[in-house]
A and B are shown apart, each in its own frame.
Chain A
């Protein structure tokens, strides 16, 4: 038996020995199976991906995402300067509010996706682990000298996700229940300052917690002592985000892919930014937004039980390759194999039947509306 395809090592390979994160020993003591991911040893699973996935959908799961880059930006003219690198309405982000955006190259291709939050003393940016050093170089290159970039590598990052996350976290940190989706606030816990936002990467209600590394283990332990909470590995993180229509950088997004191709039109939703058209690749992206892109990211539900994986080919009725699967796996909440794929615009309508090829075998599936599992964010009472 041998591995034919796997997510374990799919992230960027590094030549050097993987690094260890603040919770390394804690994961090992808890029975996490450690794999190399984004240059670090990280837990891919504890009791099993299926059980962990379903636990998060029904209860609450604790994810260690300390590999991600936590950056702090400050300085005169920051908003306007950052708007030259990303398409978001940075100036319009209200205090303690959070926005999704994209670092773009001059062709409008995606260099990374990120979350941006306005703090009292600047902007807090969370970027992907495998790309964080490239991102920092890109930011330093593109931002004026007046802007200071601080890599907050003394901070760990935890995510608590699931419908019962609020119950568990509010017991330890009263007040978090007041937050609504894409807002955050600073809290004190056992002498440590925590930045907590109501956000995440599973489609469920939940929180992301930036915690000083020297308090990370105590916080993880305190959270997992709550009956609702179990530690969850990267495997379930991947299957949860796939069901929730959340693309994964390096797989579903890359420098050849524009926001419109990726069906991330909401990332170029600001009317002011479109009229100014001064973000990288604006001409191409705005033309694609108007006329559509040649390829588009869609969701697929496969017939049968066999998953298709990243790299499988989408074929036309003559068997010619016309598209590509960028993420695929078995969806535990649906009980079927699902995938994200890039297909020609003509095949992107919901309900379109597609044929796929993988390792010499033909699979069939249907273009399906995403998210595959409805989002359950806590948007508050309107």
Chain B
């Protein structure tokens, strides 16, 4: 399984043609206390770069973009009652949604873990 990152601080884990999407540790630390997450409906078709989810902290709302194109398999059901999971475990239990990838070659444009770490260190 490989993990990729976007410059907008989403991550995607890829296992076969299924991707799991969330936001990075850096992103959650910048957002602060998360109070609400709006995940996409099952079956929604997403094109890479589409607004896929909304994450609300106490002070601000932020859009989460689809790191790759595909069909939403499911949103993380735990986030409706416990959005703070995104603060506690952003790159694990705080995942946002799973997606069936329509074009896995899009992943080649994303950063791997070390490239993302370098990217964040320069922010």
Contact = CB atoms under 8 A, between A and B. Distances in A.
Interface of A: 1-8, 44-45, 48-51, 53, 235, 238-239, 304-307, 309, 329-330, 332, 337, 359
B8 A1 contact: yes
Contacts of A7: 59-60
Contacts of B23: 1
Nearest to B65: A1
Nearest to A336: B35
Given A48-B32, A307-B35, A307-B36, A4 B58 contact: no
Contact of B38 (A48, A235, A306, A332): A306
Which of B58, B61, B63 has its CB near the most chain A CB atoms (within 10 A)? B58
Nearest to A6: B60
Nearest to A358: B61
A48 B58 CA distance: 9
Interface string B42-72: 0000000000001111111111110000000
Residue in A1, A2, A5, A309 whose Cβ sees the most chain B Cβ within 10 Å: A1
12 contacts: A1-B65, A2-B63, A2-B65, A3-B62, A5-B60, A6-B60, A6-B61, A50-B33, A51-B33, A239-B58, A305-B35, A330-B58
B83 interface: yes
Contact of B56 (A45, A239, A306): A306
A49 to B, nearest CB: 4
Nearest to B35: A330
Contacts of B55: 1
B108 to A, nearest CB: 21
Contact of A330 (B9, B38, B56, B65): B56
B35 A4 contact: no
Given A306-B38, A306-B56, A5 B32 contact: no
A235 B63 contact: no
A238 B9 contact: no
A53 B33 CA distance: 11
Interface band, chain B: 20 to 34
Contacts, number: 78
Interface of B: 8-10, 23, 27, 32-33, 35-36, 38, 54-65, 80, 83
Contacts of A305: 35-36, 80, 83
B63 A4 contact: yes
Nearest to B6: A1
A332 B33 CA distance: 10
B32 A49 contact: yes
B64 A1 contact: yes
Contact of B59 (A2, A49, A51, A306): A49
B8 A306 contact: no
B63 A306 contact: no
Contacts of A45: 32
A329 B10 CA distance: 24
Given A49-B32, A49-B33, A235-B32, A307 B8 contact: no
Nearest to B83: A305
Contacts of A332: 33, 58
Given A44-B59, A306-B54, 16 more contacts: A1-B64, A3-B61, A3-B62, A4-B54, A49-B33, A49-B57, A49-B58, A51-B33, A235-B32, A239-B59, A305-B83, A306-B38, A307-B36, A329-B58, A329-B59, A359-B61
B115 to A, nearest CB: 17
A329 B65 CA distance: 23
Contact of A309 (B27, B61, B83): B61
Contact of B8 (A2, A50, A235, A304): A2
A181 B36 CA distance: 37
Nearest to B81: A305
Contacts of B35: 305, 307, 330, 337
